[in-house]
Amino acid sequence: MARVKISEQEFTFKALDEAWNRAAVVDNFQLAADRYVIISDLHKGDKNKGSDDFLPNELIFCHALQWYYDHDYHLVLNGDVEEGWEADYPDIIKAYHDSALAAERQFASKPGYHFRTYGNHDLEWADETLVQKYLWPALGEIKVHPAIRLGENIFIVHGHQGDPQSDQRAKTSRFWVKYIWRPLQEWGLTAILWEPLQRLGLVNSPRAAQNNFIRFRRDNSLYQWAQQKGVVLVAGHTHRGIFRSYSKIDQLKEILKKLKEEMKADANRSNYYQLTASIQYIERTIKESKEALRREKIQDKGNLAPAYFNSGCCVYTNGITAIEVDRGTIRFVKWELCDSYCEGGQDRRPDSFVTIDRKIYEAGNLETIIKEVKGG
């Protein structure tokens, strides 16, 4: 009897259904009162300077966690926290015991303030005996879950579920990362190879600021599942921050329309060059987005309900991104190093040349978003 081949989307839907059913549920979640920060894809390694992508952002991460702890946030680390494909867990724990793990320990020691899910790069945490062996000595008696549900409307899951490279063929991908990609990193060759590998779909874009945009199959599958389920899904995995999940092209067309109206109203032409540059930039971006959609063979449907969000990652060249769920508001933020002379820096911190800034890219009303996702 011939085997029935199912599509990537069908496989993803089945895997997400299973994660939903096995998720840890926060029954006492209060949308208007609670504060949660969701951070994914730290990829903590063994501090090898050639291959540990988290190392440049170690102190930024620790600073951010201290800020969230001081402001009474619950912490959700949403998968790929440790880079188990490239490094050995004892080496990772030892490398970050007194920094990143110490920052996490504060939350773990406070009942109800610490949550973890596992991803494809730290899938070993699905085994409770390994969690007890490696994580308990560093963090205390924590649990690592397939997913987290904040009440019945917000679903937090890493997002690798059903991914052909990261779930269905994870062993092959792990071999590729450990024995090919890591040596390339250590030899300093990945910068040269990044663009061709990205075109082949073997690595993800490292740029943080491209939030809002569903352009790729993985994002699209996660969005479609969340829309059908009628929930707000917050994932990681792709390393691409996404907020509100509306069509990129539709958003840019709206911005372009407003800029052109402003251009007509600018009788004194005081903002002519700035507006012209902005219009040209957006027109160019729309063209590039359409070309990217054609390459990925994805139809830009427009007017999407904001069912899918992505927190980005902690391995950008300067900084980490996160999703904040804060007393009825959801935000996409980035923490990054900034010298005190940029963006009005001297007014902000005249006593210090370098600061770690929390920048809010987008924010929205969660109650309104949930109603829209549910078709209300």
pLDDT exceeds 50 at position 2: no
In this structure, is residue 1 part of a structural domain?
no
Q: What is the pTM of this model?
A: 0.77
Do 322 and 255 share a structural domain?
Answer: no
Do 133 and 255 share a structural domain?
Answer: no
Do 362 and 252 share a structural domain?
Answer: no
pLDDT per residue over 58-76, tens digit each? 999 999 999 999 999 999 9
In this structure, is residue 60 part of a structural domain?
yes
Do 254 and 238 share a structural domain?
Answer: no
Mean residue pLDDT of the chain comes to: 83
Do 309 and 298 share a structural domain?
Answer: no
Do 21 and 151 share a structural domain?
Answer: yes
pLDDT per residue over 199-247, tens digit each? 555 555 433 333 334 456 778 889 989 999 999 999 999 888 888 765 5
- Least Cα distance to 96 among 140, 139, 145 occurs for 139
Extract the tokens encoding 224: 């479609």
Give the pLDDT score at 88.
92
Extract the tokens encoding 165: 């490279």
The CATH number covering residue 228 comes to: 3.60.21.10
Do 276 and 127 share a structural domain?
Answer: no
Confidence grade of residue 253 (pLDDT, cut at 50, 70, 90):
confident
Do 255 and 151 share a structural domain?
Answer: no
Residues 317 and 155: their CA atoms lie apart, in Å, by: 28
Lowest-confidence range among 107-111, 149-153, 351-355?
Answer: 351-355
Give the pLDDT score at 351.
59
Domain count, the chain: 2
In this structure, is residue 237 part of a structural domain?
yes
Confidence grade of residue 1 (pLDDT, cut at 50, 70, 90):
very low
- With a pLDDT cut of 70, the percent of the chain lying above it is 75
Do 275 and 363 share a structural domain?
Answer: no
Extract the tokens encoding 99: 């920094």
Torsion of CA 152, 158, 163, 166, to 10 degrees: -160
- For residue 45, what are the CA distances in angstroms to 56, 87, 129? 11, 6, 21
DSSP state string for 359-374? EEEEEEEHHHHHHHHT
Do 183 and 266 share a structural domain?
Answer: no
In this structure, is residue 3 part of a structural domain?
no
Do 270 and 152 share a structural domain?
Answer: no
DSSP secondary-structure letter at 338?
A: E
Find the domain containing 148 and state its range.
Answer: 8-246+304-373
- For residue 266, what are the CA distances in angstroms to 121, 253, 271, 292, 366? 53, 20, 7, 34, 36
* Domain closes at, from 259, 278, 303: 303
Do 340 and 274 share a structural domain?
Answer: no
In this structure, is residue 2 part of a structural domain?
no
